């Protein structure tokens, strides 16, 4: 007798397959299913609760086109000097053009929207379109390249804000929906299941661009334009922000990845409260424990998963806790850390100053240690981001006469100096800035652009390294820290 397939994809097999008719011997090879049909799954309520909370985001930037003068012959420049006779390539500005298309999720009724950093990166203008086709210009409140998250604000009230769910409660095999704007098709809903949690994709993509590598993996179809959109459970609660796909073509081929809300909430809360993300560090370098590593290094710990400590930094939280090279960490604050993704996800929720209890193996012995986490500067201070006005000055063009006297071709001059970051760093009125972080500057907009890039960068070292000249021609080198201690 052939097997029969029920609605739950379960198999029933007659004993006739294994013996003569009427043989009642127990079947040791095939389990007989009950044939209970699967519960009906309805996604309509989840979709209804989500689509008005998801927006389309268009980014615009002005392309820079270069034109070459007919006098650009190198022999002409040899006789008359670089840039002479119009030989220097000139930039021609045109109108802003659409740079990219992505999605975002409304998290507050007064217009706060979370999206991916790569959706808004490099944009001069951001246009947000709601599900009812109303459009608004958006302002970037803050962004974090390490987690690929950004917070935007539009001038609107009474919006449909999404309800946050707990990504920790997600189970592998659970249904989820991806909501976004793939290829510009607005309010598109796709369904899939959670394929894995705390998934690291750096090794699969041979890329470690993101500082956090602990994603929710699903098989819900996600394509270009879905970035920054919502991943929700069957109750319509946000459990992740769709971020990446695993593809060799650039389009969906089976798996997609979302940043879990456990990380999203921490990052967005930090941006709203401090203007920058607060990160705690333990002070170790590590690799994942594997059977191959155990054999290679003759590790005696009676586990096959965990974090193998390669080295411990001086004056770090790990050093103070007595953690040593060769230890194998298996738990932090009661949460298992079986791989680097789980380690990163656990650390991403913690702040400098937080106490953490760590379970580890040293040889065959298990130990528990407690320590207070620090920031990258080696203390427990929280930092607060500043805005451009915190520099405490304006910038003007260097007069041509001054350029000629000093033998320079560019730079900006500090003007209207008052109390602020520049004055605190020892910069004086009239100082000529030539480069900031090795980037030449020629206008106030250049300085502001570099400032914004520093503040958006995931690095905790938010500093302007300035080279320049005093009006006398004396060279000057300054470091201007931009973050403020809380």
- Which whole-number Å values give the CA distances from 386 to 44, 129, 151, 454, in the listed order? 44, 29, 16, 11
Active-site choice (144, 148, 213, 327)? 148
Residue 60 DSSP SS3: strand
Please state, in angstroms and rounded to a whole number, the distance separating the CA atoms of residues 89 and 69.
7
Q: 233: which residues sit within 8 A by CB, 6+ positions away?
A: 46, 165, 170, 174, 175, 176, 177, 239
Given 103, 227, 316, 385, the catalytic residue? 227
3-class secondary-structure state, position 317: helix
Q: Could you give the 3-state DSSP secondary structure of residue 334? A: coil
E-only strand ranges, 265-320? 284-288, 307-312
Tokens of 127: 């246009």
Based on the residue annotation, tell me whether 298 is a catalytic residue of this protein.
no
Q: What is the phi/psi pair of residue 98, to 5°?
A: -65, 125
C-beta neighbour count of 30 within 10 angstroms:
14
Which residues lie closer than 8 Å to 66 by C-beta, 6 or more apart?
Answer: 89, 90, 91, 92
SS3 237: coil
* 3-state helix vs strand vs coil in the chain, percent to 5: 20, 35, 45
| C-alpha–C-alpha distance, residues 449 and 285, integer Å | 34
Distances from the Cα of 413 to the Cα of 66, 404, 445, 481, angstroms = 27, 15, 13, 19
Question: Can 206 be counted among the known catalytic residues?
Answer: no
Going along 305-411, which residue ranges are E strands? Answer: 307-312, 328-332, 335-336, 355-362, 365-372, 383-384, 394-397
Dump the DSSP string for 421-478.
HHHHTT--TTPEEEEETTEE--SHHHHHHHHHHHHHSS-S--EEEEEEE-TTS-EEEE
> Active site includes 227?
yes
- Radius of gyration from C-alpha coordinates of the chain: 29
Which single residue is written with the structure tokens 């798996």? 255
In the set 56, 103, 118, 348, the catalytic residue is 118
CA–CA gap between residue 369 and residue 362 (Å, rounded): 12
CA nearest to 168, candidates 113, 224, 107, 214: 214
Reported residue count of the chain is: 486
Catalytic residues: 118, 148, 227
């Amino acid at each position: 007798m052939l097997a029969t397939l029920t609605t739950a994809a379960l198999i029933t097999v007659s004993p006739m397959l294994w013996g003569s008719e009427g043989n009642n011997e127990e079947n040791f090879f095939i389990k007989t299913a009950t044939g209970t049909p699967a519960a009906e799954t309805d996604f309509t309520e989840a979709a209804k609760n989500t689509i008005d909370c998801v927006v389309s985001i268009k980014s615009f930037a002005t392309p820079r086109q270069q034109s070459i003068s007919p006098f650009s012959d190198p022999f002409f420049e040899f006789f008359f000097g670089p840039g002479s006779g119009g030989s220097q390539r000139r930039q021609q500005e045109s109108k802003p053009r659409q740079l990219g298309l992505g999605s975002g999720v409304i998290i507050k009724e007064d217009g706060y929207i979370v999206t991916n950093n790569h959706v808004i990166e490099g944009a001069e203008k951001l246009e947000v379109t709601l599900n009812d086709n109303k459009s608004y210009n958006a302002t970037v409140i803050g962004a974090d390249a390490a987690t690929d998250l950004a917070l935007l604000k539009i001038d609107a009230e009474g919006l449909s804000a999404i309800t946050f769910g707990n990504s920790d409660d997600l189970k592998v095999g659970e249904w989820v929906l991806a909501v976004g704007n793939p290829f510009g098709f607005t309010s598109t809903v796709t369904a899939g299941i959670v394929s894995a949690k705390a998934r690291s994709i750096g090794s699969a993509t041979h890329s470690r661009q993101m500082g956090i590598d602990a994603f929710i993996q699903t098989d819900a179809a996600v394509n270009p334009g879905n970035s920054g959109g919502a991943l929700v459970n069957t109750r319509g609660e946000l459990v992740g922000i769709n971020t990446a796909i695993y593809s060799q073509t650039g389009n969906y081929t089976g798996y997609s990845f979302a940043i879990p809300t456990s990380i999203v909430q921490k990052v967005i809360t930090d941006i709203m409260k401090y203007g920058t993300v607060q990160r705690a560090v333990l002070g170790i370098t590590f690799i994942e424990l594997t059977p191959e590593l155990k054999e290679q290094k003759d590790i005696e710990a009676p586990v096959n998963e965990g974090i193998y400590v390669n080295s411990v930094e001086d004056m770090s939280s790990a050093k103070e806790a007595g953690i040593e090279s060769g230890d194998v960490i298996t738990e932090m604050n009661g949460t298992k850390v079986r791989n680097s993704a789980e380690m990163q996800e656990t650390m991403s929720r913690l702040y400098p100053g937080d106490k953490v209890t760590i379970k580890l193996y040293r040889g065959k012995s298990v130990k528990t240690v407690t320590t207070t986490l620090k920031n990258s500067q080696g203390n427990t201070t929280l930092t607060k981001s500043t805005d451009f006005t915190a520099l405490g000055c304006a910038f003007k063009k260097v007069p041509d006469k001054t350029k000629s006297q000093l033998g320079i071709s560019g730079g900006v001059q500090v003007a209207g100096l008052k109390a602020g970051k520049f004055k605190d760093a020892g910069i004086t009125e009239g100082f000529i800035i030539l480069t900031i972080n090795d980037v030449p500057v020629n206008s106030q907009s250049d300085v502001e652009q570099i400032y914004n890039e520093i503040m958006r960068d995931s690095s905790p070292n938010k500093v302007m390294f300035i080279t320049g000249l005093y009006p006398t021609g004396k060279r000057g080198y300054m470091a201007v820290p931009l973050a403020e201690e809380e």
